[in-house]
Structure 1
Amino acid sequence: MLSPTGERLLRQLADGRFHSGERLATALGLSRSAIWKQIHKLQTLGLDIQAVSGRGYRLAQPLERLDEEAILTALDPELPRPRIEIHTCLPSTNTYLLHQMAEDGGASVCLAETQTAGKGRLGRRWVSPFGCNIYLSLSWRFADASLSAGLSLAVGVAIVRALSGMGFPQLALKWPNDVLWQGRKLAGVLIEAVSEYQGGCKVVVGVGLNLWLPAKAAQAIDQPWVDAYTILGRIPPRNLTVARLLNHLLPLLIHYERGGLEPWLGEWRRWNCVLGRPVRVVQGKEQFDATAVDVTREGLLRLIDLQGRERLLAAGDVKLRLQGDGHGTADRQR
């Protein structure tokens, strides 16, 4: 967690410029030794703080903190205003919303500067250094619980629409929930649903988007990854990026109950990098090679295996590896 002293120190460093230990100590009313200890604590949150003799300390990149007012200002005025909560640190934004979903309907948004147990598919960890990226969860209720099955594909399309509008080139979608750039993972989606006794369900849409990954944090990622800084040569404003994502995700959820996945499938097929490709499927102890053929209206992946048999895959506990392109990735960080 970020202590009050750590918060004050981070505000001093947020501009990305060098600040001497002596000046920081004077500003915060601490000793230089105490400043060093606070710097170390900030580094444990994933912050890339550089220390240069004779110059002091600085963040490797300026820090833009998440801000509700800035997000709402950039949100499409035609959209209903969601409830937005911003946390300094959470175990997981998805887990938080699963337990905090309001009873009066509408959308709730949870954002965190860092996650200590960021969640991905198959129980894997999403690397979440402080203040660098976007860790966003959005809750909604559906009367028809079956709609959540193919939702991750539509969410992927919404994310690509938002990022393409911000100048991101050459994006692709990998079934069931990855946004790729040149075979490297830029963003991931995690859908979690809880059935209700009336027959509906609570759904939480989790989105992790890499804007800038410090080298030390990136060491924990065991698959090809990419961030916005690598693609664009700059870090997009975080609050604006959140608003752009919500400008596409909120209309999706509002209209999804009526149309389901089918209206999104044509666009998903255009963005996908899976169909027509050889793939390797790992499902529990079973592993087989096949060719990806299509996706169904329910979001299932249709395959033809090496024996010519048709198989249908639900996302579930399945890993999908693209074969033969040099960019094959196991579904690790999600």
Structure 2
Amino acid sequence: MSTRAEILRLMSDGAFHSGTDLGKKLGITRAAVCKNVHHLAQSGLEIHRVTGRGYKLDTPLTLLDHSRLLKLLGKSATEIRDRLHLLDEVDSTNRYLSEHVVANADINGTVCISETQLSGRGRRGRSWVATPYCNLMLSMAWRFPGGPGLVSGLSLAAGVALLHALEEYGVSGAGLKWPNDVLWDNRKLAGLLVDVQGEAAGPTLVILGVGINGHISQPDAAHIDQPWVDLQGITGKTTDRNRLSALVMLHLLDMFQLFADKGFAPFREEWQKRHLFHGRRVRLIQGDREFSGTAEGIDETGGLVIRHARNRKVFHSGEVSLRLVRA
């Protein structure tokens, strides 16, 4: 663990810690403490400094812990133990898996989780804003023997799995927005990003990225251009990211295994029931074009079916931005 991470671990309780005490515990100078705290603050964490009292995080946090994660995974820990990559900092968890595990023969269920993500991606080229050490940035890899066409609808199946994980964590009232978002009170709580690599005949490598807002600091919130919410705002408590991570991993493993066996079909009905925009007037933005109509459901591949007058049109993920038509 880096010095910066060690300082953060000591400060994670949200109490004041003097530079002298932190330095003694870690065997470094007060100047080194000050330098590392400054870097932590620059990363997006809100840290208060009070003369005579020391440093204090604006909100307590739970650091990711490899041993606790394995314990929380229970029986599944055996199959994932050597496939769990827990990082302090990375440009992108999806990119990390793509670069480091793509050649592995037994890749299924390989996971990368990072405390800090420098270049996280959302859909349609957007950046994913996440306060370091406060949110969940997780990616899981899976290789399918067939071509890319056989994984149509996987991102929607993953949305159902993510919703189950959040509900088991204790979040109620969340729903899905086609194709890759989880909303709570019409505000974005989580999102998914699927990277697919493969030839037409297969095999196909899928790297699924998950981002969940645990706590977004005020400086980071200023960079988000849509309504959002975080778990701390919903529950009023510090997010237990180890428990949340374990739940997400367990539900994604189940999802991948069922999808590999039966495809999207087992997930289609529940996804439609959980779609917050179902039966509502929507507006789809596709480049410079717009299409308005009523969201009727999804087809067997996960494409969104929109009806306008007597016409029905199917849209596929990655092409459009979906918004409600306000009365």
Aligned twin of 2:252? 249
- Once the two structures are superposed, residues 293-325 of structure 1 have per-residue CA deviations (whole angstroms, 9 ceiling, x without a partner) of 1101100000013x5321110002311112227
How much has 1:63 moved relative to structure 2?
Answer: 3.0
Aligned twin of 1:330? none
SS at match of 2:162: helix
Aligned twin of 1:319? 321
Is the CA contact (8 Å cut-off) linking 1:76 and 1:247 kept in structure 2? no
Equivalent-residue separation in structure 1 for 2:287 and 2:78 (angstroms): 42
Instruction: Point out the more displaced range, 128-137 or 25-34.
Output: 25-34
Is the CA contact (8 Å cut-off) linking 1:196 and 1:202 kept in structure 2? no
| Equivalent runs, 1:66-215 vs 2, <5 Å | 66-77=64-75, 81-82=79-80, 83-100=83-100, 101=102, 102-144=104-146, 145-196=148-199, 198-215=201-218
Aligned twin of 2:47? 49
How much has 1:257 moved relative to structure 2?
Answer: 1.8
Distance 1:197 1:290, change over 3 A: closer
SS at match of 2:279: coil
How much has 1:147 moved relative to structure 2?
Answer: 2.9
How much has 1:79 moved relative to structure 2?
Answer: 7.4
Is the CA contact (8 Å cut-off) linking 1:48 and 1:60 kept in structure 2? yes
Is the CA contact (8 Å cut-off) linking 2:76 and 2:250 kept in structure 1? no
How much has 1:235 moved relative to structure 2?
Answer: 2.4
Aligned twin of 2:242? 239
Equivalent-residue separation in structure 1 for 2:163 and 2:262 (angstroms): 20
Any unmatched runs of 5+ in structure 2? none
Is the CA contact (8 Å cut-off) linking 2:144 and 2:202 kept in structure 1? no
Equivalent-residue separation in structure 2 for 1:206 and 1:240 (angstroms): 18
Matched, 1:7 2:5: yes
Is the CA contact (8 Å cut-off) linking 1:275 and 1:292 kept in structure 2? yes
Is the CA contact (8 Å cut-off) linking 2:130 and 2:213 kept in structure 1? no
Matched to 2:68, the amino acid is A
Is the CA contact (8 Å cut-off) linking 2:60 and 2:238 kept in structure 1? no
Distance 1:319 1:86, change over 3 A: same
Equivalent-residue separation in structure 1 for 2:153 and 2:68 (angstroms): 32
SS at match of 2:138: strand
How much has 1:28 moved relative to structure 2?
Answer: 4.6
- Once the two structures are superposed, residues 155-184 of structure 1 have per-residue CA deviations (whole angstroms, 9 ceiling, x without a partner) of 111111111122201011000010000100
Equivalent-residue separation in structure 2 for 1:199 and 1:38 (angstroms): 47
Equivalent-residue separation in structure 2 for 1:52 and 1:150 (angstroms): 52
How much has 1:98 moved relative to structure 2?
Answer: 1.6
Equivalent-residue separation in structure 2 for 1:264 and 1:76 (angstroms): 25
Aligned twin of 1:283? 286
Q: 1:38 aligns with which of 27, 36, 39?
A: 36
TM-score, normalised on structure 2? Answer: 0.92
Equivalent-residue separation in structure 2 for 1:254 and 1:139 (angstroms): 12
SS at match of 2:237: coil
Distance 1:80 1:314, change over 3 A: farther
Equivalent-residue separation in structure 1 for 2:188 and 2:163 (angstroms): 13
Aligned twin of 1:272? 275
SS at match of 1:275: coil
Is the CA contact (8 Å cut-off) linking 1:79 and 1:250 kept in structure 2? no
| Equivalent runs, 1:21-36 vs 2, <5 Å | 21-28=19-26, 32-36=30-34
Identity of aligned pairs, percent? 40
Aligned twin of 1:258? 261
Equivalent-residue separation in structure 2 for 1:203 and 1:236 (angstroms): 28
| Large movers: runs of 4+ above 6 Å | none
Q: 2:225 aligns with which of 215, 219, 222?
A: 222
Aligned twin of 1:332? none
Equivalent-residue separation in structure 2 for 1:259 and 1:158 (angstroms): 15
How much has 1:33 moved relative to structure 2?
Answer: 4.7
Equivalent-residue separation in structure 2 for 1:28 and 1:98 (angstroms): 35
Equivalent-residue separation in structure 2 for 1:234 and 1:267 (angstroms): 29
Equivalent-residue separation in structure 1 for 2:115 and 2:172 (angstroms): 26
- Once the two structures are superposed, residues 227-267 of structure 1 have per-residue CA deviations (whole angstroms, 9 ceiling, x without a partner) of 11111111231111111111111011012122111111111
SS at match of 2:7: helix
